[in-house]
Amino acid sequence: MRLATMVTVTVTLLTHTASASPKAEVVPAASFEEPKALEAFRTALAAQQAGNAAHPLRISYFGDSLTADDQITHALREKLDALLGDGGPGFVWAVPPHPYCQHRAIARMSSGTWRVHGVSTVQPTDHLLGLGGSAETDGGGSIRLVAKANVTSIDLHYLAQPRGGELAVFADGKEVATVQTAAEKKQAAFAQLAIPDGARKFELRASGKVRLFGASLENAKGAVVDNLGVVNATAKQLANHNLPEHWQKQLAHRGSDLVVIMLGTNEAEWLPARGSAMAEHEKLFGDLLTSVRTANPNASCLVVSPLDQLDYRVEAMPPRDSIPAMVAAQHRAATAAGCAFWDTYAWMGGKGASRSWYKRGLVVKDYQHPTTNGANRIASALYAGLVGRWGMSAQSRRQQPVISRGW
């Protein structure tokens, strides 16, 4: 296996104590293997900084319950917004596919009767779930989306279908379009609407039979981080519960500069470290990455490995042996698919590290899920790895000293 050159970049987090002065803590930045796979993202970042990008810098972040609460993704979003400007909330599901899925850059409200589907909950019989979830009504309903600040476009992701109804779109109380969803056969469809004067409050009023996947709310410039984490999601569910061709079309339309995949929290609880089950996980994970690369062959792809876990169901709470085996399997799949790889398991300290993370207030008592401080730590490391010295050429990195940054 070809090993990528590693450099150490550090970030500094300030933690306030009861004493007068804050204590500085050094946090190592993410070190990526196969960093060339991130060149498209770095090119898009440079274009955004130069002011000649065609759209905001887009990151679509798929995950499970580690990201579904939007803590990691929102912390990353805020850092990128501070660097590049607010590109908007990005893609948001019409209704969260699981009750605990969140998006901290927008408020969502719904009225009427909506049937909600998701990759980890209940699926429609046709397995058409957009980017991972959908909301469908037969008799009409309304969905309201309120962003924290004005955006200048909304891009609707919906299902065109026989006997489809219509969707009226309102921006700050004014009707801007009515979208007809009827078609001869079922197929993914999109309606992109410009809001030149900007708007914060959007309402989507459905009449008749309408299935809505979600909407992308953006500005022309800045940074966008889509939180596509779904509670209880697994690689197998993403592969089997949403038709691959349909999912690829959604990804291709979204046109993200970087797609991040961070899965494995749930599988680690039941997959043995060796045998056919782990081999199946590697294949499914590889198929998932192939779909990502097929949808956007000119974009970047990054796999973020599972974190260390303790088996809290056993009295001694030993580290789960499945984690290092899963990290290795995902690393092989990422390399084969042409994706970069961040070994967060090693970054956080390796085997048993979640025990020390718990003592430091970085994971909760299940020894799996990050606290707010833990999520900020992960996001800070990822941000530093993505926009720090990795943005330079290999020759430039060799010529530059190792630096520390503060956030």
Write out the chain's pLDDT in tens, 407 residues. Answer: 333 333 333 344 433 333 344 455 778 999 999 999 999 999 999 999 999 999 999 999 999 999 999 999 999 999 999 999 999 999 999 999 999 999 999 999 999 999 999 999 999 999 999 999 999 999 899 999 999 999 999 999 999 999 999 999 999 999 999 999 999 999 999 999 999 999 999 999 999 999 999 999 999 999 999 999 999 999 999 999 999 999 999 999 999 999 999 999 999 999 999 999 999 999 999 999 999 999 999 999 999 999 999 998 888 999 999 999 999 999 999 999 999 999 999 999 999 999 999 999 999 999 999 999 999 999 999 999 999 854 333 334 333 333 333 32
Angstrom distances, CA of residue 175 to CA of 90, 323, 352: 21, 51, 55
The β-bridge partners of 340 are: 302
pLDDT of residue 303: 98
Q: Which domain holds residue 100?
A: 89-220
Query: Do 163 and 235 belong together in one domain?
Result: no
The CATH number covering residue 194 comes to 2.60.120.1360
SS3 letters for the chain? Answer: CCCCCCCCCEEEEEECCCCCCCEEEEEECCCEECHHHHHHHHHHHHHHHHCCCCCCEEEEEEECHHHHCCHHHHHHHHHHHHHHCECCCEEEECCCCCCCCCCCCEEEEEEECCEEEECCCCCCCCCCCCCCEEEEECCCEEEEEEEEEEEEEEEEEEEEECCECEEEEEECCEEEEEEECECCCCEEEEEEEEEEEEEEEEEEEEECEEEEEEEEEECCCCEEEEEEECCCCCHHHHHHCCCHHHHHHHHHHHCCCEEEEECCCCHHHCCCCCCHHHHHHHHHHHHHHHHHHHHCCCCEEEEECCCCCECCCCCCCCECCHHHHHHHHHHHHHHHHCCEEECHHHHCCCCCHHHHHHHCCCECCCCCCECHHHHHHHHHHHHHHHHCHHHCCHHHHHHCCCCEEEC
Domain boundary among 220, 246, 264: 220
Q: Which two tokens stand for residue 152?
A: 């200048």
Residue 288 lies in a domain: yes
**Same domain membership, residue 52 and residue 140:** no
- The CATH code of the domain that includes 255 is 3.40.50.1110
pLDDT, position 389? 57
Closest C-alpha among 246, 225, 288, 293 to residue 79: 225
Q: Give CA–CA dist 206/70, Å, rounded.
A: 27
Same domain, 201 and 341: no
d(CA 241, CA 125): 10
Same-domain check for residues 244 and 347: yes
The predicted structure's pLDDT at residue 397: 38
If asked whether residues 331 and 370 sit together in one domain, one would say yes
The pLDDT value recorded for residue 301 is: 98
pLDDT at position 14: 39
d(CA 207, CA 166): 5
Inside any domain, residue 137? yes
Residues 68 and 138 in one domain: no
Q: Which residues pair with 363 in a beta bridge?
A: 370
| Same domain? 377 vs 229 | yes
How many CB atoms are located within 10 Å of the residue 53 CB?
20
**Sign (positive/negative) of CA torsion 353, 358, 364, 366?**
positive
Say how many domains are in the chain.
2
- The pTM assigned to this predicted structure is 0.90
Say if 35 falls within a structural domain.
Answer: yes
214 and 226 in a common domain: no
Rounded distance between C-alpha atoms, residue 94 and residue 113, angstroms: 13
232 in the same domain as 143: no
1 part of a folded domain: no
Can you give the pLDDT at residue 380?
96
In a shared domain, residues 194 and 338: no
Domain boundary among 220, 249, 270: 220
The answer as to whether 2 is a domain residue is no
Contact between residue 242 and residue 189 where contact means Cβ atoms under 8 Å apart: no
Whole-number pLDDT of residue 27: 84
* Rounded Cα distance, 178 and 85, in Å: 31
Please tell me whether residues 205 and 318 are part of one structural domain.
Answer: no
The domain boundary residue, chosen from 198, 220, 242: 220
Is 365 inside any structural domain?
Answer: yes
Question: Are the C-beta atoms of 35 and 340 separated by less than 8 Å?
Answer: yes
Strand partners, 141: 112, 206
- CA distances 97 to 130, 192, 241, 282, Å, are 11, 23, 13, 25
For residues 82 and 28, membership in a common domain is answered with yes
